[in-house]
Amino acid sequence: MRDGRRFRIYPNQEQARMLSQWIGCQRVIQGAKIDEVDYQQWLRRHAVFNNVPVEGKWAFDQAYSHFKTELNPWLGDVPSQILRNGTYRAKAAFQRYWSGLGGKPKRRHKSNTESVIVTSELFQFRDDGLYLGSTRTPQKMQRVRLNAHRKFDRPKMIAIVRELGQWFVSFSFADNETVLSNDELLAIHAQVNEEEILALDRGVVHPFYDSEGRVYDPSDIVHERICQYDARRVSLQRKMAGQKKGSKRRNDTKKKLARVYQQKRRLIGDWRHKTTHAIAKNAPKVAALENLNLAGMTRAPKPKEQTPCGVFPKNGRAAKAGLNRVMLQMGLGIMANQLLYKLNRQGKALVLVPAHHSSQECSRCEHTSEDNRTSQAEFYCQACGFTANADYNASLVQRRRAWHILRSDGPIGSMETLNAREGPIPSEKPPA
């Protein structure tokens, strides 16, 4: 199993200059290689068109020294491995394209996020930080301060990323623990009691409500900060609209705006990790979640508004509901995937449950009716008189369904449907 890490690093001014140079040179080689491959392929197509015989099968080569000319003497100032990795990146981009996984590779331009791929000849993790430079001359390597807040194993390749003026190192490494797959774990836990399943209902008022009565809400502080970020974003966008294109002031505003987006993204990402961690810890053996595909067909359409703070009264209940909904929509699939791997690492399984009418079904007698839902928050069964919090009742219904799915040999809600709809786990791993 592979695991990934992303740590903040603190290069000094000189080191930052060196890394910027590495980033720039690698991008130049990558771009040049992409152009070259484009051109070679064009030539071959042209040859076929004109009935000129084409020699042999074309293969991607990793040559790059011919890109070094007197026009770009600075390419000679960076280690050759940095340049070679530029061709490697171009190759990887074409392979993704040819196998239908990505778009046609394009020359990259400077943007907010920039990165350089560094292979093991040029870095070392030591106890007191990350060392950069040729490993052949260890005493000459430069120490960069590193904030390694979690344990990790030594990787063979790292990506150093500059993002809005901050530096990060990210990598993936082989993890010695063997983790059973979800299907294997489902088979192991097929005979669990209903009480050993933790079912989650996702709702409008609370993002998650579990079958033991716990709610997983973002804290008031998180809500408040999201409101602040949204307000700041709106004011910056207004400001930018009145500024001249290409002017220095407008570019400054643009940078500030990018930073606000980044802060909000990180805040929500952090909340997601904390929440999935808590759920995985609370689940006894199995966790159950609505199948998103089915949920998409039965739930109300997504609300259009993107700025809940502007639409709802501040700090009101409705405002929080709106925020929770928006937060959940920003990555329910990501959350499901995070939950899946966190559970599996602890030897627990995830079951996907069909979500139809779970909010109208009675968890005690299975009577299903629209009338059971007397209000948004209350459930009152018209047949047996069972009353409960509506979200709690729904989570109990899902727990029952999960239990039936586990015991029967019928089809188990496949993890593929999870990925098909929301895409695989996004780039938590460095580009490889």
> Which residue ranges make up the site for Zn ion (CB under 5 A)?
362, 364-365, 367, 381, 383-384, 386
Q: Are 117 and 108 in contact (CB under 8 A)?
A: no
Instruction: Report the residue number, 387 or 408, with the smaller CB distance to Zn ion.
Output: 387
Q: How far is CA 106 from CA 69, 90, 390, 407, in A?
A: 22, 9, 51, 51
CB of 276 to Zn ion, least distance (A): 32
CB of 208 to Zn ion, least distance (A): 24
CB of 382 to Zn ion, least distance (A): 8
Which residues are within 8 A (CB) of 150 and not within 5 positions of it... i.e. 6 or more apart? 5
Q: Which two tokens stand for residue 187?
A: 């088979």
Instruction: Report the residue number, 163 or 194, with the smaller CB distance to Zn ion.
Output: 194
Instruction: Report the residue number, 267 or 383, with the smaller CB distance to Zn ion.
Output: 383
CB of 362 to Zn ion, least distance (A): 3
Which residues are within 8 A (CB) of 283 and not within 5 positions of it... i.e. 6 or more apart? 197, 198, 343, 348
Residue with tokens 């409101």: 227
CB of 264 to Zn ion, least distance (A): 43
174-181 long-range CB contacts below 8 Å, 24 or more apart?
174/1, 174/2, 175/1, 175/2, 175/3, 177/1, 177/345, 178/1, 179/1, 179/344, 179/345, 180/344, 180/347, 181/344
Question: Could you give the CA distance from residue 23 to residue 377 in angstroms, rounded to a whole number?
Answer: 54
Q: Which helix (H) or strand (E) holds 106?
A: none
Question: Could you give the CA distance from residue 338 to residue 422 in angstroms, rounded to a whole number?
Answer: 12
Do the strands 166-174 and 197-201 form a parallel or antiparallel pair, or are they unpaired?
unpaired
Instruction: Report the residue number, 143 or 367, with the smaller CB distance to Zn ion.
Output: 367
Residue with tokens 């209902």: 201
Instruction: Report the residue number, 355 or 396, with the smaller CB distance to Zn ion.
Output: 396
Instruction: Report the residue number, 240 or 383, with the smaller CB distance to Zn ion.
Output: 383
Q: Are 332 and 202 in contact (CB under 8 A)?
A: yes
Instruction: Report the residue number, 286 or 362, with the smaller CB distance to Zn ion.
Output: 362
Instruction: Report the residue number, 14 or 370, with the smaller CB distance to Zn ion.
Output: 370
Q: How far is CA 335 from CA 1, 71, 275, in A?
A: 20, 49, 9
CB of 211 to Zn ion, least distance (A): 17
SS3 for 346? coil
CB of 174 to Zn ion, least distance (A): 51
